[in-house]
Structure 1
Amino acid sequence: MKQIARSLLLFGSLALCPLLDHQPTRAQIASDGTLSTTVITFDGSNFIINDGNRAGSNLFHSFSEFSVPTNGSAFFNNAFDVQNIINRVTGGSVSNIDGFILANGSANLFLLNPAGIIFGPNASLFIGGSFLGSTADSLVFPEGEFSATDTQTPPLLSINAPIGLNFRDNPAPIENNSTASADFNPLPSFDDNLFGLRVRDGKSFVLAGGDMTANGGGIVAFGGRIELGAIAEEGTVGINLDGDNLSLSIPDDLQRADVSLTNGAGFLVSGAGGGDIAIAAQNINILENSRLNAGIFSGLGSPDARAGDIVLNALEAITVDSGLIVNSVRNNGVGDGGDINIEARSLDLANGGQVAVLMFGQGNTGNLTVRASESIRLNGGDTGAFSGLFAQIGQTGKGSVGDTIINTERLSINNGGQVAVVTFGQGNTGSLTVRASESIEISGRGEFPSGLFNEVGSGAIGNSGELNVETDNLTVSNGGTVSVNTYGEGDAGNLTIETERFNVFNSQVSTSTFGEGNAGNLTVRASDSIELSGELPDARGGVGAPGGLLAQVDLDGEGRGGNLTIETQRLSISDGSKVQVATFGQGDAGELIIRASE
């Protein structure tokens, strides 16, 4: 807020002092003369943009260049009833924005520059509406186009809202490196470091262009929408304008460019409800402690509130390496969390890379859905942090966990990678469904066990859902784990495995109770073979718990054990591995049923 006041005071001072020293300076914002746009500056750093051409609630400007120097400003002095400020840059130079962009009222701001847009570390937005920045050639209206490359044709000035963006081949990139403070008017109980380009709460921040990078840059839209559409070829992208909220419609067959967040970049849309993040690209990279954050903040929300969704769509790979994608309801937050939907050819989570729907307040988490047509790789790496997909209720949470669905061709989990659906608080977990048409490989422990989990944690009150695994080839080795266990008061769900070939080497697949709740049933159907070998290694590399297939009541267990059913052609058990139904606690064990046709 101080920054806004400082900028407005500067403009007020200029109005009172028209005879300040006018040393010749190179213009960084200049009209191209095709419209009635006028630009005033007294110091070469701060610019007032007046006039322009009005068409209904739209105001059009045309610039030969548009850049804001470090800590400088560009103030759109528009009428307060303007709804859309539509700007094109025609001179062929990149827009380097390293200061403030301001506008009157609640107008949306459109910035079109086919040469490229770079937001520097000091870039900030102080506008009342939504923002759209693009390196497209033209904005599309129902009657025609407002072009930034064809300045010979009289520009179309439409009274209607824009409906699309036309791109030429190989659109220019967009960079966001803004780390400017964005903590003006923070939400109650907000304790995160706010930085970057911020739009007003509930509004949209949209970028559409070529390759997009955020090197430590931030974007903030509390309860609003952040959307990036990276385009690599000639084509048209639709614009959806609902009041002053913006979104994109990108054709499925349009070739895309890449989006990369590095060096602690962050996109934040959490609030009292709403808040969506959408990214469409060829490859999406969330690296080096960068994060996407949606959900409901501590102390905010209501029983009927719902957070928005995170949707990532990549034609090739999505990589989260030491990064985080999270949709959470924080402590004392009230309302349901939103969904996370990921679609790509491949998904790689490594070195603590995580995707999570979490509940620490009161409400239900959203669903977590991952569709990777070729592969998913979850690798804990060497950081000591666990990588993976998580859907959980924390110890302070009350509610339920949504469903987790994973569809791919090949799934690899190793070095502490996990898919974990767990309740540590009060509430039930949803189902975990894993389908890999070709293979699933789970291997190693690292500092944390690698595996698939749907569990009731220690001290939790609630039931876990089912864990269903479908694949042609399932291998669990070197301390890997597949489990549906209860350590609390609630009952565990069933674990069902449907496969052709099932191998368990020095690993454990189990449904057990370690607490007051009952264990679920373990059912394995392998149309070809099952091979079990070896015992589970302990943390020191020695021999720990038995390996194999287990359905049992542990020493501290009070509930009943589940049944263990095996159906296959061939079953092989060796080197200390077990197929075991047992009770070591107070509850009764279940039944053991084995059908091996050969």
Structure 2
Amino acid sequence: MSLNFYRFRVIDKLLYWGIFAIITMPSLVSAQIRTDETLGAENSIVTPNIEINGILSDRIDGGAIRGSNLFHSFSDLNVAEGHGVYFSNPAGISNIISRVTGGNSSSILGKLGALGHANLFLINPNGIIFGPQASLDLGGSFVATTANAIEFNGQGLFSASEPNIPPLLTVNPSAFIFNRLRPSPISLNSAQEPVGVRYDEIYGETSIFGLQVPNGKSLMLLGGDVNLNNSQINALDGGRVELGGVAEAGIVGLSINGNSFSLNFPSNLALADVSLVQGSRVYTSGDRGGSIQVTGNNIRIIDGSSLAAETFGEQSGENITITARENLEIVGNPPYGIINNPSISILTYGNGNGGNVIIDTKKLLVKDGAQISNTSAGGGNGGQLVIHALESVEIRGITDGIFSGLTGGAVLAGKGGDINITTKNLTIQDGGQITVQSLGASNSNNISDAVATGDSGNVSIEASTSVLISDLGTGITSSTDGVGNAGNITINTGTLTIQKGGLITVSSDNNGTGKAGNLIINAAQVVNLMGTDSILAATGDGLRPAGSLTIKTGNLNVSDGAQVTVNNTKGQAGNLNIYADNLFLDRGFLTAETAETGIDGANINLQLSNLLKMQNESLISAQATGGANGGNVTLNSPLLAVLLPTGPNGSDIIAKAEAGNGGNILINSQGIFGITEGKAIARNRTNDIDASSEFGAPGRVLINNTIDPNQGTVTLPEEVVDPNTLVAQNACKRGTASQLTQTGRGGLPPTISENLNSQAIAVGLIDPAPSSVSQAENQAIASENLPLAQNQIAPAQGWIFNQKGEVMLVAYDPTMTSSQRVKVNPLGCVVP
């Protein structure tokens, strides 16, 4: 941007603050400091216009001393721009506590200080404003609050709403009392360097502007809404900054541990909002990095604003802790050409370990180039990045080539910090990233002749409902390009969706010898991987083995050119393990590829409870290139169904090799449909199972069909009728032969060699039909004398019970009353 642009922004700011000064000038001129006479003989004494530390100032003496506490009371307390206000610090005083009892807010536009090492408390329930030239000159910690009173551990209160002479308040302050339904705000306005490119980006060191306390001390702002606008707050070398907003009447606890002050917010207390806008910055650094804590209902860190803690020495750093009851919004896109640093960052340069970034909120949004970072750039280990978002985490957007995201890294010997996320729904899109990495030497970090030996951290995601990764350049990655190893990525969720070029990868690059991490995905319901360039991968480009990839889910859907892959171009690739109920490949690819000569190929292990379905030129490949041996493919699935090819190539399962030996393919399935063993040749329009090698020995294809295809069929005897039972020599006998016909499915076994089984129909016994004639009557037969054949065999016409209760077959119908007991044979068919 042009110089005229920066000049315009500076003029714009000067005009703004000139108007602000004109509006506020009358009240400031008429009453900078005014005592309220509430302390009686111990009233404060103001001596104006004396030079203190090189600036024309007002000195405040007197006050009420109680033990190590000194109390002051004013109806108005303001500090004019270019002017100073200093409190005297008698011997033995640890805390200087000032209240404002009038109805006006306090405007701190110049320098506020104390002439000693005491802590300074400023209480004004009507609000506190820090202007663009506001600064602190203290030997101790500083607290500004719009609470109504301060409690002293059961000894009593020092109240600005009900002013009185303080009782025997000899102990440290222990709590802040808010009586108003809506406490007044605290605001900081433009208390930092001029707009434009940051000082540290030009000179390579951090610029210090705005409010600052001495090294190791605390700076605390506690009010209603707390707003930082183009402002900076600093607490160096183990110092602490805490910002907190209260939205209703209540009590906030205060703990004082040496030089460290910390607040305790009850869980049932309504919180107000905290905002850092227009490039505001809260910064702690030193041999021992300081701590930062921000507590509010909605917290916004936007327009390139940041929280940063850096450690340079041997001591361990402190934490950055953010608690947002509702929403935490972190937005990059810095204004006015300010070069943006990571929005929330802990950076460890020395041998001391870095602190942790801890975020607790309902919804977290990181967008437009904002980043949350925890990096080790020295011998010390990086801290943890821990996010607990009750409902959602959303990461999206790129600004000026800077991605939005969460990062952790190791640049030298220290181990990079882990990233741990717990939420219901995680969404990463539009170029957002979560990444951990072990880096090589980097001139940008003033590191020369150095190699990264530290391992990168791990990424652990617990998203109970869903994880969505969408769009090119968007994803979750763990990598190494140094000696250090890459970390693992573990995702536990209900549904994982990767689409439109999103990715999750663990990798090792060709610049280093570090080992890649493993990728582990547990999705209770489904994993959906859709679209070209959408990838789940464990890859390597170095001599060390690449990591493995394991997926456990209900259904795995890979479609429209998406890939699930493990590979290594120079060393051993990891294994691909999938445990699912169903696996659907619709132009989807599962690959495990190795390229290095003499290296065994990677393996694919598919354990499915129901079905593997392939279509539209899908591929399962453990192929090896160069001199590497092909990997092995193991498939256990009740059903394998491959649809007919719709394009020039079919859907294939291969474990091929070029110069090495082919791999082995083992398939255990109850039913295999649409695919057979054969060479997978380009454009052959067939579905093939191929374990061949172009120049080496082929592998083996073993298919175990655990179900007999003939199970359930009826085995018929080779000879339907025994020829010895046929009456073949006498046509008359054949004509009078009896017949027995089986119909239906029951009554007889399916074959003559089997017993009845559970499929045969059981027929119960029936009672014989009643007969009206118990015995046949004697009848005379009028006929010629005909000889009766002896030993004549007649077919049964019915059955009766004999006297023993046995069933007997008879050659007549027992239900007829006419005589049937004489059977006349046809002529020429008498049995001898």
Q: Same fold (TM over 0.5)?
A: yes
Confirm or deny: 8 A CA contact 2:218 2:235 kept in the other structure: yes
How do 1:298-317 residues align onto structure 2 when only pairs under 5 Å count? 301-302=313-314, 305-317=315-327
Query: C-alpha separation between the residues in 2 aligned to 1:213 and 1:454?
Result: 37
Confirm or deny: 8 A CA contact 1:121 1:177 kept in the other structure: yes
Return the match for 1:104 from 85, 108, 115. Answer: 115
Confirm or deny: 8 A CA contact 1:553 1:588 kept in the other structure: no
Pairing 1:193–2:207 present: yes
The match for 1:538 is: none
Pairing 1:482–2:499 present: no
Q: Give the residue type in structure 2 aligned to 1:431.
A: N
The match for 2:262 is: 247
How do 1:229-378 residues align onto structure 2 when only pairs under 5 Å count? 229-297=244-312, 301-302=313-314, 305-322=315-332, 324-330=343-349, 333-378=350-395
Listed one character per residue, the Cα deviations across residues 48-87 of structure 1 (whole Å, up to 9, x for unaligned) are 1111111111110000001111111111122143110000
Return the match for 1:553 from 559, 568, 575. Answer: 568
Confirm or deny: 8 A CA contact 1:416 1:450 kept in the other structure: yes
Q: 1:492, CA displacement in angstroms?
A: 1.4
SS of the aligned residue for 1:364 comes to: coil
The match for 1:130 is: 141
Confirm or deny: 8 A CA contact 1:364 1:400 kept in the other structure: yes
Q: 1:180, CA displacement in angstroms?
A: 4.9
Q: 1:178, CA displacement in angstroms?
A: 4.7
Q: Give the residue type in structure 2 aligned to 1:260.
A: S
Q: 1:515, CA displacement in angstroms?
A: 1.2
Return the match for 2:600 from 571, 582, 588. Answer: 588
Question: Closer, same or farther in 2 for the Cα pair 1:516/1:400, shift >3 Å?
Answer: same
Pairing 1:53–2:64 present: yes
Confirm or deny: 8 A CA contact 2:409 2:457 kept in the other structure: no
Paired positions, count: 539
Listed one character per residue, the Cα deviations across residues 140-182 of structure 1 (whole Å, up to 9, x for unaligned) are 012111000012x443351111100001221100001252579
Q: Give the residue type in structure 2 aligned to 1:27.
A: A
Listed one character per residue, the Cα deviations across residues 389-414 of structure 1 (whole Å, up to 9, x for unaligned) are 111113xx221013221110000001
Return the match for 1:40 from 40, 47, 50. Answer: 47
Confirm or deny: 8 A CA contact 1:80 1:104 kept in the other structure: no
Question: Closer, same or farther in 2 for the Cα pair 1:138/1:474, shift >3 Å?
Answer: same
The match for 1:173 is: 185
SS of the aligned residue for 2:602 comes to: coil
Query: C-alpha separation between the residues in 1 aligned to 2:357 and 2:318?
Result: 9
Pairing 1:443–2:447 present: no
Confirm or deny: 8 A CA contact 2:280 2:304 kept in the other structure: yes
Query: C-alpha separation between the residues in 2 aligned to 1:27 and 1:270?
Result: 38
Pairing 1:406–2:413 present: no
Query: C-alpha separation between the residues in 2 aligned to 1:207 and 1:428?
Result: 38
Query: C-alpha separation between the residues in 2 aligned to 1:75 and 1:249?
Result: 30
Confirm or deny: 8 A CA contact 1:146 1:155 kept in the other structure: yes
The match for 2:687 is: none
SS of the aligned residue for 1:268 comes to: strand
How do 1:70-85 residues align onto structure 2 when only pairs under 5 Å count? 70-85=81-96
* Unaligned residue ranges in structure 1 (runs of 5+): 1-23, 536-546
Q: 1:513, CA displacement in angstroms?
A: 0.8
The match for 2:521 is: 497
Q: Give the residue type in structure 2 aligned to 1:348.
A: L
Listed one character per residue, the Cα deviations across residues 450-480 of structure 1 (whole Å, up to 9, x for unaligned) are 1111221x3x111122211111110001111
SS of the aligned residue for 1:256 comes to: coil
Q: Give the residue type in structure 2 aligned to 1:277.
A: I
Query: C-alpha separation between the residues in 1 aligned to 2:494 and 2:567?
Result: 27
Q: Give the residue type in structure 2 aligned to 1:37.
A: S
Question: Closer, same or farther in 2 for the Cα pair 1:181/1:412, shift >3 Å?
Answer: closer
Listed one character per residue, the Cα deviations across residues 414-448 of structure 1 (whole Å, up to 9, x for unaligned) are 11111101111221123211111111000112xxx
The match for 2:577 is: 565
Query: C-alpha separation between the residues in 2 aligned to 1:420 and 1:313?
Result: 23
Query: C-alpha separation between the residues in 2 aligned to 1:30 and 1:277?
Result: 34
Q: 1:295, CA displacement in angstroms?
A: 2.1
Query: C-alpha separation between the residues in 2 aligned to 1:190 and 1:75?
Result: 34
Return the match for 1:29 from 22, 33, 36. Answer: 33
Query: C-alpha separation between the residues in 2 aligned to 1:464 and 1:125?
Result: 45
Confirm or deny: 8 A CA contact 2:508 2:515 kept in the other structure: yes
How do 1:454-465 residues align onto structure 2 when only pairs under 5 Å count? 454-456=478-480, 458=481, 460-465=482-487
Normalising to structure 1: TM-score of the pair?
A: 0.87
Q: Give the residue type in structure 2 aligned to 1:242.
A: N
Listed one character per residue, the Cα deviations across residues 13-45 of structure 1 (whole Å, up to 9, x for unaligned) are xxxxxxxxxxx9512111101121111224998
Q: Give the residue type in structure 2 aligned to 1:216.
A: N
Query: C-alpha separation between the residues in 2 aligned to 1:51 and 1:171?
Result: 30
Query: C-alpha separation between the residues in 1 aligned to 2:44 and 2:601?
Result: 82
CA RMSD after TM alignment: 1.9
Query: C-alpha separation between the residues in 1 aligned to 2:589 and 2:144?
Result: 61
Pairing 1:385–2:385 present: no
Query: C-alpha separation between the residues in 2 aligned to 1:43 and 1:403?
Result: 54
SS of the aligned residue for 2:394 comes to: strand
SS of the aligned residue for 1:82 comes to: coil
Return the match for 2:557 from 507, 517, 531. Answer: 531
The match for 1:12 is: none
* Bigger-Rg structure (1/2): 2
Query: C-alpha separation between the residues in 1 aligned to 2:418 and 2:470?
Result: 24
Return the match for 1:212 from 226, 237, 256. Answer: 226
SS of the aligned residue for 1:91 comes to: coil
Confirm or deny: 8 A CA contact 1:351 1:383 kept in the other structure: no
Query: C-alpha separation between the residues in 2 aligned to 1:154 and 1:368?
Result: 48
The match for 2:216 is: 202
SS of the aligned residue for 2:30 comes to: coil
Question: Closer, same or farther in 2 for the Cα pair 1:320/1:239, shift >3 Å?
Answer: same
Q: Give the residue type in structure 2 aligned to 1:320.
A: I
SS of the aligned residue for 1:316 comes to: strand
Pairing 1:114–2:125 present: yes
Identity over aligned pairs, percent? 37
Confirm or deny: 8 A CA contact 2:520 2:550 kept in the other structure: yes
Q: 1:584, CA displacement in angstroms?
A: 2.6
SS of the aligned residue for 1:475 comes to: strand
Listed one character per residue, the Cα deviations across residues 295-331 of structure 1 (whole Å, up to 9, x for unaligned) are 213xxx12xx10110000110111110061000013x
Q: 1:382, CA displacement in angstroms?
A: 4.8
Q: 1:485, CA displacement in angstroms?
A: 1.2
More strand by share: 1
Confirm or deny: 8 A CA contact 2:396 2:430 kept in the other structure: yes
Query: C-alpha separation between the residues in 1 aligned to 2:354 and 2:178?
Result: 36
The match for 2:21 is: none
